[in-house]
Structure formats: C-alpha cells, structure tokens
Amino acid sequence: MRPSELGVAEAARQIEQRTLSPVELVQSALDRIDEVEDRLNAFVVVTADEALEAARQAEREIADGGYRGPLHGIPVGIKDLYDVAGLPTTSSSAVRSGYLPTEDAACVARLREAGAVVVGKTHTHEFAYGVLTPTTRNPWDTGRVPGGSSGGSGAAVAAGECLVGMGTDTGGSIRIPAAVCGTVGLKPTFGRVSRAGITSLCWSLDHAGPLTRTVRDAALTLQALAGFDARDPGSAREPVPDFTADLDAGVRGLTLGVPANYFFDDVDPEVESAVREAIGVLEAQGATLREVEIPYADQMMAVEFGVLVPEASAYHQEMLRESGEEYTGDVRVLLEAGETVLATQYIKALRVRTLVQQAFRRTFEGLDALVCPTVPAAAAEVGQRTFTFPGGREKAVVDAWIGHSAPGNVTGLPALSVPCGSTSAGLPIGLQVIGRPFDEAGVLRVGQAHESATDWVSRRPPL
C-alpha cells in the first residue's frame, strides 16, 4: 500500500513513531496526482513545491519534538471555494478567475495550525450550485460523475490523491460525493465550523466539513476545525468536545430511528438493500431500532430551494450583471430564476423551515440518531439527467440526490455518510447518519460502529 492510501489515523501513528516521514507521505500523494489527474481532473491547481516545503518543515518540527498532533504532515485538498492565501479562489468559474486572496479561510488556517499540508485546490460545481461537478470524473468509473458540489475533494480522497478533502454542504455537497465516491463525509451542525473566507452559496444553509477515508479521520479533522469564530455570523458558541473520546463505545443501548417515509419512497433496490443490511449490522451490535415518520416530507424540497435560490441570487446579483456571460449555462439560469422569487415567498420558506426544525426536534425525542440512505441511487453517468425508480417513476438526478440530503441542511443537524455497500456495477453506496444538534460525537460513534463491523471502507477504486 502506498503511503497516500493510508487514513489520517494510521499515517499519523507512523509519523509520530518516525516510521513514515511527512515528506514521504506528501510525495506519495503528489505522485498519485501525477498518475491519475489526466483521468480524474479533481484539482484546479496543485501546489507541489509549496507542499513539499511545508512537509520538510513539518519533518523538522517533529524531529525537534514539536509534534502538533494527528494532522501534522497530512496532505489535504481544499475545495476551491475556500480562500488560500496566494492562490486564486475561482469557485471553478471564469467569473472569479482574477480573485487572489491574501489570507487563508478560517478552516484552512486551523488546518495549517494543526500541521496539515495543502497539496492543492479541488474542483467544485461552479460556485457550488450543483451536485455533479462536471469538470471531474468518478474514480470508480470515469464515465460517471463524482457528485457535488465537492466532487473534486470526494474524487481526490477516494483516489488517494490526498488524505483529507475539504468540502461545503448547502444541499448535500459533502455527503453526496462521499456516498458516490465511497468515502466518509461529515456535515457538522450549522455553526460548528466557521465559514469565514469561504465563497457563499446560501448563507443560511451553508456548512463546511471534511471528506476522509475513515470515520476516525473525520473525527480527527473536525477536532481541528470546530470552534467559535466571530467572523462568521452563524458561528455557535458551543463547547468543543473530544470527538474521539467515545468513538469506539459501540451502539449498544442507543435508539436509532428508521424512516417509514420519505427516505425509502423512491430508492434504487440495490441501494435500499445495502442500507437496510447496514442498519441490520447496527441492530446486531445492540442498537434498538424504532420506525419514525419524517415530518413535513412533502415540504422539504420546497423549503430547501425556497431558501437557497433567492439567497444565491442575492449573493451573485452584482456579478451576474457584470459578468453574466461568463457563468456556465446551468448556473446562470438558476441565478436568473432566483431573481423572480418574491420576498413573500422567501419569508414563507423561512417560516416553514422553522416548523421543520421544531418538528425534527420532536422526532428526535427518545432517539440518538436517524439512519437512512445518503442518496437513493449511485453515481450517475456523465450526461445522465434522470434516475428511474421502481414503478417506473423518474426523477431528475439533482432532485433525487438533494432530496435525501436536504433535511440535514434545512434543520442544520449533523449528518454523516459512510460507505455501506456497492451496486452490481461496483459503485459505492452510502449510509447516512443524522444526529441531534451539536452531537457530532454521537453521529461519528454510530458510523464507527458500522465501519468497524464491515470492510467497505478498505475498498479502493480500480483506477
């Protein structure tokens, strides 16, 4: 196994024990990028020279007794919505081609403080306004999309180009690529991780978080990222626990909700089978299962888009007038449509969102987490527009994928995707774990219980 195929936890153990050097690890990641980028195109820019210098600096610090912790010397990819000082933040768009930030986004600064090494910036669906990331390919099948909008980070982690990929999640953009690329993806509670220095899509739904190889890697990365930041108006003054303290406590004694509606209404049979088997694995370990009704299921997508579309158009209003022709067609149409949404419609969507949040709090009474599919169908082919579900029902790829992830954004609750199976075509399937507010530790604990009982996380794409 090449070093870049290791998870954060194992690589950190070897670095601390001096059996693996940060330079060796980062060089392995860069070699892998050279090997597969012509087929994946996960990165907007690769900063090889800077990364190797940072790795050498990490090696010197560790040799001098200055080991900073499990991210020291770990190669990370940064979604191209995050500002990285001295590198363009293009948001994978010609509109932002001239923007060069002078300081790091809060998350990037915290990763650097923890000793992480930035190897480059990863592609996003333009301005994060989509779930395909059409510039990038899926490492499990390069004729398919990697999901989005954090598709570059999902593909890069799955392919071994970096050990951590930073993503954002407004309608599923961490969890969708995690599910279809076979990685772990964590969307923390709204307010847990600062969004300062990240290009916004929809400020009241945007979340920042990591895509990693294992659940423990996600916990270790969140440990470095979490905490209040006055520069982010949505940042929460919540205590930051040790996210690994109870990671291996198992699920015995926990009560997990299994949705009776919505999440299993339109699902590919292979996905449903794998997810129900994964839920059975948790039950076999001692979890109690309880069937629950998802409240406001018929309003979920209306609320998601009723908030997202006008907020996105408000953010882009000036740029759309100055550089409208430089947007890609699909994003420009959405931004133009958002300008037709009435203020009264937006306010109504906000009011219903509050009702949804209150109803979910009631649903979680007596529950530790919800478990369900991350997405209802595996990776779509490039150019594919719809999925066909049992009964001949068709749904647009965008609607099908966002439909399963939107509840986590509308409510702001923490949500995790972990690999739990594969289709007959060998495509990854994800199990989603949704938790109570600021209980990322509980969500990670459930994900770890499943991961430790299966071998899905150890599988690698045939790229």
> Tens digit of pLDDT per residue, the chain (463 long)?
899 999 999 999 999 999 999 999 999 999 999 999 999 999 999 999 999 999 999 999 999 999 999 999 999 999 999 999 999 999 999 999 889 999 999 999 999 999 999 999 999 999 999 999 999 999 999 999 999 999 999 999 999 999 999 999 999 999 999 999 999 999 999 999 999 999 999 999 999 999 999 999 999 999 999 999 999 999 999 999 999 999 999 999 999 999 999 999 999 999 999 999 999 999 999 999 999 999 999 999 999 999 999 999 999 999 999 999 999 999 999 999 999 999 999 999 999 999 999 999 999 999 999 999 999 999 999 999 999 999 999 999 999 999 999 999 999 999 999 999 999 999 999 999 999 999 999 999 999 999 999 999 999 999 8
Q: Which two tokens stand for residue 458?
A: 């150890």
Marked catalytic residue, from 4, 21, 93, 149: 149
The Cα 8–Cα 158 span in angstroms is 13
Marked catalytic residue, from 79, 91, 150, 417: 79
Marked catalytic residue, from 173, 194, 235, 405: 173
The reported pLDDT for the residue numbered 1 is 86
Q: Clarify whether 150 is annotated catalytic.
A: no
Q: Clarify whether 173 is annotated catalytic.
A: yes
The residues, ordered by sequence, that sit 6+ positions from 121 with a Cβ below 8 Å of its Cβ are 43, 44, 45, 77, 78, 79, 80, 82, 84, 87, 89
Q: Clarify whether 417 is annotated catalytic.
A: no
Q: Which two tokens stand for residue 13?
A: 């153990």
The backbone region for 94, taken as left when phi is positive above 0, alpha when psi lies in -120 to 50, beta otherwise, is: alpha
**b/e per residue 70-107 (b: at least 16 CB within 10 A):** bbbbbbbbbbbbbbbeebbbbbbbebbeeeebeebbbb
CATH numbers and ranges of domains, the chain: 3-292+357-458 (3.90.1300.10)
The reported pLDDT for the residue numbered 98 is 86
Nearest to residue 458, comparing CAs of 4, 111, 7? 7
